[in-house]
A and B are shown apart, each in its own frame.
Chain A
Amino acid sequence: MEKAEVASRKGKRTEIEKSVLVIGGGIAGIQASLDLADKGVIVHLVEKEPSLGGRMAQLDKTFPTNDCSICILAPKMADCYGHPNINVMTCSEVVGIEGSKGNFSVQVLKKARFVDENLCTGCGECLEKCPTKGIQNKWEQGLATRRAIYIPYMQAVPRAAIIDPENCRFLKEGKCGVCKKVCKREAVDYDMKDAILEFDVGAVVVATGFDVWDPTSSTEYGYGKNPNVFTAMEYERIINAAGPTHGHIQRRSDGSEPKSIAFIQCVGSRNIQTGHPYCCSVCCMHSTKEAMLATEHIEGIRSTIFYKDMRACAKGFNEYVERAKNDYKVQYINSDATVQGSTSAGNPIVSYDVGGKSQQKEFDMVVLATTLVPSEKNKALAKALGIELDEFNFFKVRDHVFDPVDSTRPGVYLAGYCAGPVDIPESVAMGSAAAAKAMEDLMERKVYA
């Protein structure tokens, strides 16, 4: 590993008093970075994926306004990447930190992209020529494939290609090398190495977001067995106009349009057995949204939501659910539900109860609102940063009531889902709140420890 001195993108050395580390380039991290950068602070934004955007970039529309997710996110991503005060490091992770509040020394592992993102224009010619196809595209929730060299997604920022070293013929066997030949900008560099970057900052903001839990182990939902059972995130990619099916809702088994969809809430959550006894706070709303969107995509489709408690409890949310009931004819059934087998046509059969009586109903498609769990990398990051996790791998807050963005280590702040289940507006507010705290440290005026 080479040690490399990092500089901000303009080539200036950073000063402790004026710089902050933000870990995570989703909406919370982006908001924190922009707020700080606009105040003249140098922000080192570390993102583990090859593009900014986080989960919000994967969604189609967002509740309660049903506006297009990437449309409102993309300008912020562009602002972030182009901001003279923000040093965006993608494919990077924080591996160590030393020091104390106001004065931290950070180590970041910047993994090799094998493409120089300063030269790459995102033209995509290399993608077309790469001979290694058929690799599961994780970003598309496995619903599409990609090649060994790929651009994360259409609106990725930076819009630059990346080579997957585990599947690239040249990197593994020294064969091929087509992408390099084809690239007119000479942006492909097979010799790129991982690097450790070190720099000093005055504060740290952690905004590592969430992962979608895989419900295969909860066999009562049939995920993985029945092809027409989807997770909500898979559904989001399906209804997305820029997604793997160009926005057409279609069943996995036969590609046909469903005429009925069941949404099952709390799959894996509010459940001690799965280890997630908590509530993810956003699923009632996102399933309502998804049911509404189904009606917009397919005329006459019948959507049913099986729920424990309909947690539509922020501004405009209750009215949103009422609209779903009245205008979109979404049916709400207050019951636990499971998938018990399927018909010969591959239609999942949902089992539930009403008034104490057990019922069964056949649906063309089932969408599971699975638990959204804190990022699996939180454990390692917590260790590296010297902050505590709670039993569910959320980062612990110093005081739930009055210090909701402080971690257990002074000078390290939290924003977004990594500190507890929150929706987009709250993530944005927390991003700004953490930025305020970081700024206070930089101004060295904090009175209490």
Chain B
Amino acid sequence: MSEEKLRVGVFICHCGTNIGGFVDVPAVVEYAKTLPDVAFATGNLYTCAEDGLSNIRNSIKENNLNRVVVAACTPRTHAPLFQSTCEDAGLNKYLFTFVNIREQCSWVHMKEKENATEKAKELIRMGVSRARLLQAQEEVQIDVIPSALVIGGGVAGMSAAISLADQGFPVRLVEKQDTLGGFVRNLGYVWQERQEALTALKTMIDRVKSHRNITLHLGSTVVSADGFIGNYEIVIETKGKQKRDNVGVIVVATGALEYIPEGLYGYELYDNVVTLTEFEILAKNKKLPKMSSIAFIQCVGSRGQDKSYCSRICCNVTLKNAMNLADNWQNMLGLEEGGKAAEGVSVEKAVPDEIAERRRGRRGRREGGAEEAAPGSGPKLDIAVFNRDVMSYGVEHELMFNKTREKKVRFIRYTPQNLPKVSLENEKLTIDYWHDTLQLQRKMTVDMVVLATPLVAQPDAKEISKMLKVPLGQDGFFLEAHVKLRPVDFATDGIYVCGTCKGPADIPEAVEQGLAAASRAAIPLARGYVQPESLVAFVDSDVCSGCGTCIEVCPYNAIRKTENGLAEVTIAACKGCGNCGATCPENAILMNHFTDNQLLAEARAALEEVKE
């Protein structure tokens, strides 16, 4: 690299009287001229105004400046403006540096003009020292493959895939089951619209299947995904056969499972104790037993009883089912007119196939028995919901809560210190509970107990987390980049997440998240390239000893080991935080634009004596 003679230009702003009224700017300009390698120094009234900017542009050209220092307000407002002004004049923007003499000088030292002026001089001396060591940087443009991979064909995954496809991008949708729809397939009716779940899903499934931009892989899994934003090499496996492909972005939508309340409330011990999902399966197949009373127990296995979290959706699912029961929707109770059980409603198998299959799949167990509906059972169904709080947040849920109470569904509060107990007394399911208002212990016999259990992370989340190098948070759900402001991004650029694999969510929330992930994922695809700022780390492979400590501390998985075991930075993923640079035990890592030498030169310049 040729050693050209340094010619630094210093532009000092008055900012009207904001700086000029508290700092002797002309004196500072004169001082700047005395600094080594400064070829030009001037003051501007308002550097950010058009005349100030022209002044910079013209001065660069007329004086052959190859470094520029602007001393004015905070870089956080106008740095990009001045950088592009330098570029306009043919000067690489990384050869520009900003000195803050307003927010961090004139405005905080308003009554000490002399000291403030001395400080301003030193700050500019520091800036010039830094500028001298700056190097031009070329920003790399990395092409983005304009296609996406969506892992998971449930509601969230389908929403993401359809939206990406509608935004014009080819999508590979990979689903491990042989059908689309995910968890929603299990449900009976969808919320208060009472649409049948499978019917409701049909529109979405048809769109996925017929969309010309979506390539569907059913019964398949993604077995590997290597690369970085814009360039992922993936391998999809279907029934033993592998297919390679290349995509630009990845969306994770792998869903969740229902918690199995082993050992709780008589589950699998007594007949007719089922989970919420099992209840829905029974209800939609019209396989509910003859009932005159039913109890739902909320928060089974959650909120500290095993899992620490609240699963958000279960109260509302219970409300939906309670409403359907109260209205005997679609005659799910199998009653005749007048409320009597219809004759000959036989239950062919003890428990419908779907449930038996699910339970068998978990542990080969005996099949539970459901009682046959006998004619002449009582007309009204007594519905009780044992809860710790009813999480019917928002408008629709709260209105539904009101409606269920109007329909005389009883809500009985319990505390974790006083759990309701389910037992069999005289061959009837009995619930022993504490009634808080009456301050009495009471008993209730019911024909069925439905346990509302939380959603839990899929067991394959761990593999996916390792494969994509994305983190799992508490309880095995995927951890997003920022809980508040980046809810569907991963910290690693180019990978996004939506739906219940991130945490419990209901259908509209899963749809929103799927759309949101599609919006985010489409950004690099639409742009066609990524151009990361050159504030990145660089490993000197001559010095690197391959200890891998840098890889451990990088929050963005932006460093990897090459074939010879040495560290290499993936520029597209590096954010320039400097953790690796400060960590490297061999001092082999350089932080572009914020090197040790640059920082030390800047700081040391403050410690020199001010030459008058």
Partner-B contacts on A (CB < 8 A) = 27, 35, 38-40, 62, 64-65, 67, 72-73, 76, 78, 82, 121, 123, 125, 184-185, 270, 277-279, 281, 309-319, 322, 334, 355-356, 390, 392, 394, 399-405, 420-422, 424-426, 428-437, 439-440, 443, 445-448
Indicate if B460 sits at the interface (CB-CB under 8 A). Answer: no
Contacts of A125 in B (CB 8 A): 16-17
Please report the total number of B residues contacting A with Cβ < 8 Å.
76
Asked if A311 contacts B393 (CB within 8 A), the reply is yes
Complexed CA–CA distance, A121 and B485 (Å) = 29
Indicate if B125 sits at the interface (CB-CB under 8 A). Answer: no
Asked if A445 contacts B512 (CB within 8 A), the reply is no
Could you tell me the distance in whole angstroms from the C-beta of B76 to the nearest C-beta in chain A? 7
In the complex, per-residue mask of B375-400: 1 if CB is within 8 Å of any chain A CB, else 0: 00000000000000111111111110
Asked if B437 contacts A356 (CB within 8 A), the reply is yes
Could you tell me the distance in whole angstroms from the C-beta of A316 to the nearest C-beta in chain B? 7
User: Which of the residues B168, B191, B394 comes within 8 Å of A278, measured between beta carbons?
Assistant: B394
Residue of B nearest to A184 (CB): B16
Contacts of A439 in B (CB 8 A): 167, 519, 522, 526
User: Which of the residues B166, B393, B397 comes within 8 Å of A440, measured between beta carbons?
Assistant: B166
Given A315-B309, A315-B503, A445-B166, A420:B516 Cβ within 8 A: no
Could you tell me the distance in whole angstroms from the C-beta of A100 to the nearest C-beta in chain B? 18
Could you tell me the distance in whole angstroms from the C-beta of A66 to the nearest C-beta in chain B? 11
Could you tell me the distance in whole angstroms from the C-beta of B574 to the nearest C-beta in chain A? 19
Interface of chain B residues 558 through 596 with chain A (CB within 8 A) = none
Known: A72-B482, A279-B393. 17 other contacts (CB 8 A): A123-B15, A123-B17, A278-B399, A312-B310, A313-B311, A315-B477, A318-B308, A318-B309, A319-B474, A394-B395, A404-B512, A430-B516, A432-B517, A432-B519, A437-B515, A445-B167, A448-B203
User: Which of the residues A334, A420, A428, A431 comes within 8 Å of B395, measured between beta carbons?
Assistant: A420
Given A121-B46, A401-B508, A425:B483 Cβ within 8 A: yes
Contacts of A392 in B (CB 8 A): 395
Could you tell me the distance in whole angstroms from the C-beta of A74 to the nearest C-beta in chain B? 9
Asked if B391 contacts A311 (CB within 8 A), the reply is yes
Complexed CA–CA distance, A399 and B200 (Å) = 11
Asked if A405 contacts B17 (CB within 8 A), the reply is no
Given A40-B526, A315-B477, A356-B439, A401:B393 Cβ within 8 A: no
Indicate if B317 sits at the interface (CB-CB under 8 A). Answer: no
Asked if A309 contacts B304 (CB within 8 A), the reply is no
Complexed CA–CA distance, A155 and B583 (Å) = 35
Given A392-B395, A400-B191, A318:B200 Cβ within 8 A: no
Indicate if B601 sits at the interface (CB-CB under 8 A). Answer: no
Interface of chain B residues 7 through 52 with chain A (CB within 8 A) = 15-18, 46, 48
User: Which of the residues A76, A312, A400 comes within 8 Å of B193, measured between beta carbons?
Assistant: A400
Contacts of A429 in B (CB 8 A): 487-488, 509, 512-513, 516
Contacts of B195 in A (CB 8 A): 401
Asked if A313 contacts B163 (CB within 8 A), the reply is no
A-B contact count (CB 8 A): 204
Asked if A401 contacts B200 (CB within 8 A), the reply is yes
Asked if B512 contacts A435 (CB within 8 A), the reply is no
Lowest 8 CB-CB distances: which A-B pairs, in order?
A433-B515, A432-B516, A436-B519, A281-B393, A184-B16, A39-B526, A309-B389, A404-B508
Indicate if B303 sits at the interface (CB-CB under 8 A). Answer: yes
Complexed CA–CA distance, A8 and B193 (Å) = 43
- Could you list some 9 contacts between A and B, CB below 8 A? A62-B484, A277-B402, A278-B395, A315-B483, A394-B395, A402-B200, A432-B515, A432-B516, A443-B166
User: Which of the residues A39, A319, A430, A433 comes within 8 Å of B523, measured between beta carbons?
Assistant: A39
Asked if B487 contacts A38 (CB within 8 A), the reply is no
Contacts of B288 in A (CB 8 A): none
Indicate if B172 sits at the interface (CB-CB under 8 A). Answer: no
Could you tell me the distance in whole angstroms from the C-beta of A265 to the nearest C-beta in chain B? 11
User: Which of the residues A281, A425, A440 comes within 8 Å of B394, measured between beta carbons?
Assistant: A281
Asked if A185 contacts B163 (CB within 8 A), the reply is no
Asked if B167 contacts A436 (CB within 8 A), the reply is yes
Interface of chain B residues 395 through 450 with chain A (CB within 8 A) = 395-399, 402, 413, 436-439
Given A39-B527, A400-B508, A123:B483 Cβ within 8 A: no
User: Which of the residues A65, A437, A443 comes within 8 Å of B483, measured between beta carbons?
Assistant: A65
Contacts of B185 in A (CB 8 A): none
Could you tell me the distance in whole angstroms from the C-beta of B18 to the nearest C-beta in chain A? 5
Contacts of A426 in B (CB 8 A): 487, 509, 512
Asked if A313 contacts B310 (CB within 8 A), the reply is yes
Complexed CA–CA distance, A394 and B77 (Å) = 36
Given A38-B527, A121-B18, A402:B503 Cβ within 8 A: no
Residue of A nearest to B395 (CB): A278
Residue of A nearest to B314 (CB): A313
Contacts of B190 in A (CB 8 A): 401
Complexed CA–CA distance, A76 and B484 (Å) = 13
Complexed CA–CA distance, A315 and B497 (Å) = 14
Complexed CA–CA distance, A256 and B193 (Å) = 53
Asked if A440 contacts B167 (CB within 8 A), the reply is yes
Of B193, B402, B517, B523, most A-chain CB atoms within 10 Å: B523
Indicate if B356 sits at the interface (CB-CB under 8 A). Answer: no
Contacts of B483 in A (CB 8 A): 64-65, 315-316, 425
Asked if A278 contacts B398 (CB within 8 A), the reply is yes
Indicate if B511 sits at the interface (CB-CB under 8 A). Answer: yes
Contacts of A65 in B (CB 8 A): 483-484
Complexed CA–CA distance, A392 and B312 (Å) = 24
Could you tell me the distance in whole angstroms from the C-beta of A442 to the nearest C-beta in chain B? 8
